[in-house]
Amino acid sequence: MSQNGHKVIGTRPIRHDGVDKVTGRAIYGADIQLTGLLYGAIKRSPHPHARIKHIDTSRAEAHPGVRAVVTAHDLPQIADKIADLGEAIVNLRDSSNNVLAYGKVLYKGHAVAGVAAINLHVAQEAVELIDVEYELLPHVTGVLEAMEDGAPILHEDMKTTSMGEETDKVSNIANHFQHKMGEPDDGFAEADVVIEREFTTQTVHQGYIESHNATALWNEEGQLTVWTSTQGAFAVRDQLAEILQMPVSKVKIVPLEIGGGFGGKISVYLDPVAALLSKKTGHPVKMTMTRDEVFEATGPTPGSYLKVKMGATSDGRLTAATAYMAYEAGAYPGSPVGAGAGCIFTPYDIPNVQIDGYDVCVNKPKTNAYRAPGATNAAYASETVVDEICEKIGMDPLEFRVKNGAKEGGRRADGPVHPRIGCIETTQAALNSEHYQSTLEKTANGKVRGRGVASGYWFNFNGGRSAISVSINPDGTINMLEGSTDIGGSRASIAMQLAETIGLEATDIKPYVVDTDSIGYTDVTGGSRTTFGTGYAAHATGLALIREIKERASKLWDVPADAIDFADGVFSYKDDAEKRGTFKEVASQAGDAGGPVVAQVSTNPDGSGGGAFATHVVDVEVDRETGKVDILRYTAVQDAGTAIHPSYVEGQMQGGVVQGIGWGLNEEYIYNDEGSMTNASFLDYRMPTTLDLPMIETIIVEVPNESHPYGVRGVGEVPIVPPPAALSNAIYDATGVRLRDLPMSPPRVQKAVAENGG
Amino acid sequence: MHAFDYATPESVADAVVMLSDHGENACVLAGGTDLIVQLRENRRRTDLVVDVKKIAELNALSYNVATGLTIGAAVPCYRIYGDAEIAAAYPGLMDAAKLVGGTGIQGRASLGGNLCNASPAGDTIPPMIVLGGEAEIAGPAGTRNVAVEDFCTAPGRTVLADGEFLVSLRFPAPAPNSGAFYRRFIPRNEMDIAVVGVGASVVLSGDGSSFVSARIAIGAVAPTPLFVSEAGAALAGQPVSDESIQRAADIARDAARPISDMRGTAEYRKHLTSVLTRRVLQGAVQRAKE
């Protein structure tokens, strides 16, 4: 028995998909093989910004083994249409132009044409035979440069929207918005300490190990089937239907196992091109990206510029905060600056706040969601300013956070009022942790050491549509079909919620992620919603099954259904001790009383419930001569609401921390003067390896989410938010130098330390 | 990747004939950890790949205290550091052999291949230079020997002429009171490419108080791995001290001619050359005293 009277929730069963994954039997996108399969490749722009004057595909089409070539002229031209993909809002006309460039290329790597051939090598050779005539245009890759008057303009027809109104100004600034509450000027006047600092962050990629892939078959009756790895099969279906201008009923998406997504596998890239090539050839067509294509032509998360000002009284009360946040959208509007603005000051209760956000187009790939999109950039700025305030007023940074922590009834600057949340509990747990209470030697091995802390917030999407379909086997076990693709152990956590509800073991439930024709519409796995939202549906499914089994038992036992009790996994009739049985016992007989037992449930919870808070503590060791930062110890504390499967909660926390460490220390897109990324490989795009990290320690705090039957909060995203700020604060503690530009890579740290007499 | 032929000669003579027939349109495959990547990424194009792993001389690995060490050009790193006697005699070489790629790569990658790939950042080249390594080359005109420091001529270019290939590497037996050390700087702890690499070997006086001789080589700071003879010469006859070591480190730094790229600025690389040379000399001295 776990805590809170739960039998399954809070335990750590082996995941249902685990054995197939560790033995290599799980089927991923690249494993698909079909009769008559052709292989596709993409012709990409070598220029960051150019007008396409002419595309000549004749040499490629004449090349032996080539079966078809497609360009944007094979795509229907569609009008502006806004679609909500769950973690990002997109304009489908932009999506279409991003899939195959129409008129202009807007970044190096922008797809221009697709080829299908008898094998990959022929397809790749044919790509080289496509002749594209470009008129080169000046390019801009930095967010502040792109905002200047006179900057090269990406979209000649795009006018800036400012404070909700479209202006007449053509610029790269797609949108400027403002959130304001209280009077910041008055708040700063009350403050004894005011700190204002500027920060920059660079473009970073999710770095999932599996590259994008799609295999499409457009059959003779116009039915399109696509096998792909995605975070949202229905989102892919709907995007394809729009981009290809066909009914959704003609599109079926078969989601395969996914080798990492982190937000980056929601938008489509290859799928429409593979579909067009299949339509043209009458064969199935398979496409997979190389790693450099993944870096240069999918959706990283943006570089940004932030200016943050915060004020506090000398007794440690925050009085005001302002932020100027400019985020790179990439080639098309839609950076996560809005999300960043909703998160930046949210761990604190501050009476006077103003936040200005700018969404800015630059000649880089269209950015996309990445684990708490926008929030990490924001926290890097706000959490290091908080650290500086604490230093100035001489207050412990975690005590300061407890004192100013967000709580029920307070509100975010962008509007919503907090329900019951675990912000203060999380910070208090970090303050009480053995790690934070331990002593750190300040020097060792000729190197200096320091400790830093930072907090973070992510909304969590406590809603969305989810469907579950179950059938009971003759032995009383259950097959559970769901539409939520599993990117982080959600099959197990959803099956466990169904098992808990009906009194079975987790292993009695066999969960399957199925195609879009086999289950009701289910929103993407994103926004940390799946264990919450599809778990919510699983609980409702359990209640439906209990009702149904009571009906069946009523027939089997010849007693009224409403006189049958269900408790502790046992159905019983109070007047007859013989008339009782476990769920399995009764369910296995139920088929005799009305046919097979099945249930289908769909849910769409209301979206309230509050988000996730995290506070991290890190100890670092800095080699002042080389600038290298080693992590000695790292503890992540987080409110999970209720941890359904604690191992997977811990795994999500550890994974988020590791990605945040990479972002903080080494990861960045490095551009040359020609607007070309120079490090599009895992050699020079430096993600941390296991040898760069200690075991990440975790402390799970459980403040149940009142809008979920089991108290679940999403856990996957917020752990990436604090690490860069925590590292900056730790590096300061070690060296006396504050770093305000990411990444805090060895050359940057060495230079900063040397310039400050270190 | 373009289509090519593949051959597996079993003698040095047969390999020379194949390579001579195809000239610059042939390339040599040992472990393949560089070549296969380059072919797949269209960074190299070839009509013929000559796999030399079936030639006995290229798989030779022998050591004795009188004649020193011979390493066939295709011997993978794991065989070298897996030989306890060789590992004990050449710890400075093991520093590099153990950090080429990762464990999987070390099962295929060879020192010979690392040298022929002629990357300025090749990790095994500075230690081979400071250990006085010599390359035995076979070709249409017979065999010839070239000092390792003279082998690389530009990034990806070597002294090998059409029809020639590397057969083996030879190193003298370690002198008494000698020690060698290699270290690179990378932003991570493994699976990375050197921003700067420095190898040093020293011979100390019997009491360990002064340098008899020293050799220093630096990587990733010039078009080829660089033998900085003047840095070693400055140590000869000097006492083992922080001052003498720092002087050699400054000379190495001044000899570095790095470029700025995504792995580091020229200024940062020169700074690191000094830091690493000092640390590597300290390590070599420590080993010489052990």
Query: Percentage of chain A with pLDDT > 70?
Result: 98
CATH of the domain at A428: 3.30.365.10
Same domain, A287 and A372: no
Given a contact cutoff of 8 angstroms between Cβ atoms, the answer to whether B37 and B1 are in contact is no
For residue A677, give both structure tokens: 């990324």
Asked whether the beta carbons of residue A692 and residue B262 sit closer than 8 angstroms, the reply is no
Kindly report the number of other CB atoms within 10 A of residue B94's CB atom. 20
CA–CA gap between residue A613 and residue A715 (Å, rounded): 9
DSSP letter, residue B168: E
Give tens-digit pLDDT for A280-292: 999 999 999 999 9
Q: Is B69 touching A (CB cutoff 8 A)?
A: no
Nearest alpha-carbon partner for A56 in A75, A39, A73: A73
Mean pLDDT, all residues of chain A: 96
Given a contact cutoff of 8 angstroms between Cβ atoms, the answer to whether B74 and B107 are in contact is no
Same domain, A701 and A554: no
Query: pTM of the prediction?
Result: 0.96
CA–CA gap between residue A687 and residue A453 (Å, rounded): 22
Beta strand pairing call for B48-51 and B26-29: parallel
Asked whether the beta carbons of residue A691 and residue B275 sit closer than 8 angstroms, the reply is no
H/E run at residue A121? helix A120-128
Burial A586-605 (b: 16+ CB within 10 A, else e): bbbbbeebeeebebebbbeb
Chain B residue with minimum CA distance to A669: B262
- DSSP assignment of A352-408 equals EEEEEEEEEE-SSPPP---SSTTHHHHHHHHHHHHHHHHHHHT--HHHHHHHHB--T
Chain B residue with minimum CA distance to A119: B1
Cross-chain CB nearest to B275 (options A121, A626, A670): A626
CATH architecture of B1-174: 2-Layer Sandwich (3.30)
Q: How far is B187 from chain A (nearest CA, A)?
A: 6
Q: Where in chain B is the domain with CATH 3.30.390.50?
A: 178-289
Same domain, A467 and A453: no
Of the residues A545, A579, A603, which one is the last residue of a structural domain? A603
Q: Which of A291, A445, A626 to mutate to test the interface with B (most CBs of B within 10 A)?
A: A626
Q: Is the pLDDT of residue A158 over 50?
A: yes
CA–CA gap between residue B6 and residue A75 (Å, rounded): 43
Which amino acid is present at A457? Y
The B residues from 154 to 213 touching A (CB cutoff 8 Å) are 185, 187-193, 195
For residue A446, give both structure tokens: 């000729």
Q: How confident is the model over A247-276, as a mean pLDDT?
A: 97
CA distances from A551 to A555, A563, A595, A597, A732 (A): 7, 10, 12, 11, 66
Of the residues A550, A582, A603, which one is the last residue of a structural domain? A603
In the prediction, which pLDDT does A86 show? 63
Q: In what order do the strands lie in the sheet with A66-71?
A: A66-71, A111-117, A38-44, A285-288, A213-218, A224-228, A251-255
CA–CA gap between residue A232 and residue A522 (Å, rounded): 8
Q: How confident is the model over A575-589, as a mean pLDDT?
A: 93
Q: Is residue A144 part of a domain?
A: no
Asked whether the beta carbons of residue A684 and residue B262 sit closer than 8 angstroms, the reply is yes
Q: Which of B38, B41, B262 to mutate to test the interface with A (most CBs of A within 10 A)?
A: B262
Give tens-digit pLDDT for A399-433: 999 999 999 999 999 999 999 999 999 999 999 99
Asked whether the beta carbons of residue A665 and residue B272 sit closer than 8 angstroms, the reply is no
Q: Is the pLDDT of residue A71 over 70?
A: yes
Same domain, A248 and A339: no
Q: Which of B100, B191, B193, B269 to mutate to test the interface with A (most CBs of A within 10 A)?
A: B191
CATH of the domain at A104: 3.90.1170.50
Cross-chain CB nearest to A747 (options B189, B191, B268): B268
Chain B residue with minimum CA distance to A671: B262
Q: Chain A residues with CB inside 8 Å of B195's CB?
A: 746
Domain that holds residue A520: 3-26+462-603
Count up the domains in chain A and report the number.
3
Burial A131-166 (b: 16+ CB within 10 A, else e): ebebeebebbbbbeebbeeebebbbeebebbeeeee
In the prediction, which pLDDT does A376 show? 98
Cross-chain CB nearest to A745 (options B187, B189, B272): B187
Three-state DSSP state, B229: helix
Q: Chain A residues with CB inside 8 Å of B192's CB?
A: 683, 686
Of the residues A588, A603, A618, which one is the last residue of a structural domain? A603
Q: Where in chain B is the domain with CATH 3.30.465.10?
A: 1-174
Three-state DSSP state, B215: strand
H/E run at residue B139? strand B134-139
Confidence band for A1, pLDDT divided at 50, 70 and 90: very low
In words, the CATH class of domain B178-289 is alpha beta
Same domain, A547 and A639: no
In the prediction, which pLDDT does A4 show? 67
Confidence band for A592, pLDDT divided at 50, 70 and 90: confident
> ipTM of this predicted complex?
0.94
Beta strand pairing call for A224-228 and B48-51: unpaired
CA–CA gap between residue A117 and residue A39 (Å, rounded): 5
Same domain, A648 and A746: yes
In the prediction, which pLDDT does A243 show? 95
Asked whether the beta carbons of residue A628 and residue B268 sit closer than 8 angstroms, the reply is no
Q: How confident is the model over A567-573, as a mean pLDDT?
A: 95
In the prediction, which pLDDT does A90 show? 72
The B residues from 229 to 288 touching A (CB cutoff 8 Å) are 261-265, 268, 271-272, 275
Asked whether the beta carbons of residue B192 and residue A683 sit closer than 8 angstroms, the reply is yes
Task: Print pLDDT tens along chain B (290 aa).
Answer: 778 999 999 999 999 999 999 999 999 999 999 999 999 888 899 999 999 999 999 999 999 999 999 999 999 999 999 999 999 999 999 999 999 988 999 999 999 999 999 999 999 999 999 999 999 999 999 999 999 999 999 999 999 999 999 999 999 999 999 999 999 999 999 889 999 999 999 999 999 999 999 999 999 999 999 999 999 999 999 999 999 999 999 999 999 999 999 899 999 999 999 999 999 999 999 999 98
What are the start-end ranges of the H helices in A221-336?
Answer: 233-243, 271-281, 291-297
